Structure 1
Amino acid sequence: MIRSTSLLLVLFAFLAGSLSVSAQDENNPWYISIGVNAVDTYPVWPGERPTTGGFPNEFYNVDDHWNILPSISTIYVGRYIGSGFSFGVRGSLNKIEKLGDAPANDLAYYAVDGMFTYSFRDALFGEGGWFDPYLGAGGGYVFIGDLPSHGTLNGTVGLKIWLSDNLNLNLSSTYKHAMEGYYTRHFQHTAGIGFNFGGTDTDGDGIYDDKDECPDTPGLEEFNGCPDTDGDGIKDSEDACPEVAGLPEFNGCPDSDGDGIADPEDACPDVAGPAETNGCPDADGDGVIDSEDNCPNEAGPAENDGCPYEDQDNDGVLDKDDDCPTVPGTVANNGCPEVTVEILEEINVQVRTVLFDLNKASIRAESYETLNTVAETMKEYPNTRFLIEGHTDSQGSDAYNLKLSDERAASVKDYLIKQGLPATRLSSEGFGESKPVATNATAAGRQQNRRVEISLIE
């Protein structure tokens, strides 16, 4: 037995050093076991023969009944089928010195058996575990010395004790029922060391595909075969930044500036800033980031590039809203000055002196300077619209007077436009003799009624 054990250990060390193995399953289907076997013909049924004792009498009487060859004497090769089932073939050799209580003349024993087995390990204890009982059934063929060779029906009870994921101690007892004659019915007991091999590792990362969550990509054991490219402890499939080492709280992305905003979401990843400006600094707190703020230390609106609006004329209307930013005005007139009664009267004092050719709408040259002055005054009020009114005395027909007054008002309007006043700010209308300011009974009164006046259009 010492020699047998030594040979067994040597062979195991050789195989374990040359094969990459893991627990047997769909992806690691092959299993091999080597060991010793014992043949016992005593505790079988029926027990009429003097050499047998009947089942299970003296089942473990090793000294009186067991035939053991002191060397490696059995080998089993099996393949996993699925759902706990396996199929395997076992070959055995032995030397029979005892047939029950009767001596034998060192009969040579050879057997080849095929059997299906079912493992209760996963069913009883969940996946894995060191305790692995199993049952088997099958058939075989036996050669014992000069006795007739014959087939057998086999039933097996066994136990594998897993020493690691890939190595186990395999113990079994098999009853072999002789198909022809009962004198060679016997039990065969085996003890051996078994291990699994044949696993598939598509990506070559040392983790077999059945346990590899990323079987096509090399990875790490701690991530069940999935990679962690940046080495930050977060596997790539859960890492929002798989190429750059980061932090768990940012799903694997870095926060280079330490502002609490992950770099992919940080518009300024190298400079700390608040979340409301996407991680960019805003020194004056006006909501415009410093890199886009023309006045980074003075709060101002975004529409003015982060700078405060000015009020150049100090009229209470900001330049952005002031139609006359350099001239003080009123809020009601959008920052432009308003025409007062006094200014309007001053304009009319001048425009009333404008002279026209007799019975014509053409303006006399000596009135040009007066109208130029009026135009400059009107330009000072860019938000004001003016109505130019034409008036006549009562001499002549109403229709003629209306036409003449309308043409003269239009002439003044056209002249002022030529001096740079926008046409949109000027209107003209003739009123004929309908709005006298003096009596038409005297020459002096009629002269006052022949006039041009300017009024405001609200």
Structure 2
Amino acid sequence: MKHLNKLFVAALMFAGLSSQAQDSNNPWAITFGANAMDGGRVSAASKVEDQFSQYFNAKDYWNIIPSISYVNVSRLVGNNISFGITGSVNKIDKFVGERPTIPGDYPVTNPGDLMYYGIDGIIKYSFLKGWFDPYVHVGGGYTFMGDASAGTVNGGLGINFWFTDQIGLSLQSTYKQSFDDTRTPDYDIASHMQHFMGISFKIGGKDTDGDGIYDKDDACPEVAGLKEFQGCPDTDADGIADKDDSCPEVAGPKELNGCPDTDGDGIADKDDACPEVAGPAAMNGCPDTDGDGVADNVDKCVDVKGPAENAGCPWPDSDKDGVADKDDKCPDVMGTVANNGCPELSEAVMKSLNDYAKTILFVTNKATFQQRSYAVLKNITAILKEYPDAKFSIEGHTDSDGNDKYNMKLSEDRAAAVKNYLIENGIAPERLSSKGFGETKPIDSNKTKAGKANNRRVEVKLVK
């Protein structure tokens, strides 16, 4: 058997030169088994019917040794075609010598227990894929029998029966055509048949995670998984592979990519701001009890409508005038919507202001108030405070006594004195302005004492 070991090593080295895979999963196939050499009957017979009439007559024509006597290593080269090499050994004790002179007479003799060795390259074409795998093959090789040796051209049929994805029974018959001149054993090699029966093993497929699915077909080659998920796991057993499951550790429906929906509102818990209370998608899964467009989870006034900018609460209206404090220019004084929450000055109020203003008295030719005018100024101040959003112009006027320039300056000073008093007593400066008109806008005759008194006046005008 030392020769068989040499053949096996040679076969492995030769197969290593191939670059294709045995099948889509395993790159190699190795077959071990027994071979039988037909003793040259096929080439001794001149008629086709005689060549194959004793095809299965193992008792009379087959040479077999009771041990593993051949090994084949092969790989696929694409499109169901594989290429490999076979090494075989046998011992020839049955051989049909020269062609018979008497038709049908094929005497079998022992040529001397000659050792037989064959090294053959083989190209196979498989017809089917599956457990039943018939094929044809061609090739060539070199045969040694005793001291004789010759090259041969080979061809034949075979079939594989795959019991599993990797183990099968292989049966093959090969015709070896020799071109030697004679059929003399130990001198020339006669054409002959060689039969093979062995167990085939497909090897070389890689399954990194050990889940029984080859890496090339495994969508998750480094994590053990299930066949129905192309080798990927389904940790939460929800029927969705972890690689496609947005929540791989918690079971959920396919509609939500494997994530649960505790409140049943159609929004996955991971995206639901209120996972235990049903709510619309527009509110991120939270309810809106008061219907103000602000979800309950961020609404500080859940049962009362209010704007989002105030956290779902209504804006305060301290003076109850219908204008929210944030928009009310007079938040502490009831007013009207038209006047931005401030009270509106009626004609009656303006008349009252000017009735007071006309009674403001100054020291002659000065902008200094007479003592009795302070009560009037306090009344004017009180009225202006009731209308904190209103702006006013304080206007000063004189009679015609004196020159025009002097009267203009005096009217300006007196108007400014009233404005300064109001500011000093709590009226915002930006609400007031003052101006003098001298004697240019009389309201009465300057020819009488009473008329002049009327023309010496202060007026209050509303600035709109």
TM-score, reference length from structure 2: 0.82
1:275 has 2:275 as partner: no
1:133 has 2:135 as partner: yes
1:435 has 2:441 as partner: yes
> What amino acid maps onto 1:350 in structure 2?
Y
1:82 has 2:77 as partner: yes
1-structure distance, mates of 2:144, 2:415: 138
Counterparts in 2 of 1:20-99, with a 5 A limit? 24-25=22-23, 28-41=26-39, 44-45=42-43, 51-55=44-48, 57-61=50-54, 62-63=56-57, 66-69=61-64, 71-83=66-78, 84-99=81-96
1-structure distance, mates of 2:138, 2:269: 61
2-structure distance, mates of 1:60, 1:198: 41
Counterparts in 2 of 1:304-383, with a 5 A limit? 304-309=310-315, 311=317, 313-383=319-389
2-structure distance, mates of 1:94, 1:257: 82
1:410 has 2:416 as partner: yes
Partner of 1:10: none
> What amino acid maps onto 1:102 in structure 2?
P
SS at match of 1:290: coil
Contact 1:393 1:447 (8 Å CA) reproduced: yes
Contact 1:44 1:54 (8 Å CA) reproduced: no
SS at match of 1:429: strand
> What amino acid maps onto 2:442 in structure 1?
P
1-structure distance, mates of 2:222, 2:47: 58
2-structure distance, mates of 1:60, 1:251: 68
> What amino acid maps onto 1:447 in structure 2?
A
2-structure distance, mates of 1:314, 1:53: 126
2-structure distance, mates of 1:296, 1:177: 98
Aligned residues: 425
Contact 2:397 2:456 (8 Å CA) reproduced: yes
Partner of 1:193: 199
Structure 2 unmatched runs, 5+: 1-20, 98-105, 184-189
- In 2 relative to 1, CA 443–234 (structure 1 residues): closer, same or farther, beyond 3 Å? same
Kindly state the Cα deviation for residue 266 of structure 1 after the two structures are TM-superposed: 1.9
Partner of 1:102: 107
Partner of 2:161: 161
1:173 has 2:179 as partner: no
**Aligned partner (choices 382, 387, 392) of residue 393 of structure 2:** 387
SS at match of 1:294: coil
> What amino acid maps onto 1:141 in structure 2?
T
Partner of 1:9: none
**Aligned partner (choices 253, 275, 281) of residue 247 of structure 1:** 253
Task: Show CA shifts across 1:352-386 (max 9, x none).
Answer: 22222321223334423321221111111122211
SS at match of 1:292: coil
Which of 342-351 and 86-95 deviates more? 86-95
SS at match of 1:273: coil
Contact 1:41 1:185 (8 Å CA) reproduced: no
- In 2 relative to 1, CA 357–57 (structure 1 residues): closer, same or farther, beyond 3 Å? farther
Task: Show CA shifts across 1:153-194 (max 9, x none).
Answer: 322322223333222232211111234344221011223332
Kindly state the Cα deviation for residue 68 of structure 1 after the two structures are TM-superposed: 4.8
Task: Show CA shifts across 1:24-44 (max 9, x none).
Answer: 436522322233333224554
Q: Sequence identity, in percent? A: 47
Contact 1:311 1:325 (8 Å CA) reproduced: yes
> What amino acid maps onto 2:314 in structure 1?
P
TM-score, reference length from structure 1: 0.83
SS at match of 1:350: helix
1:290 has 2:296 as partner: yes
Kindly state the Cα deviation for residue 73 of structure 1 after the two structures are TM-superposed: 4.6
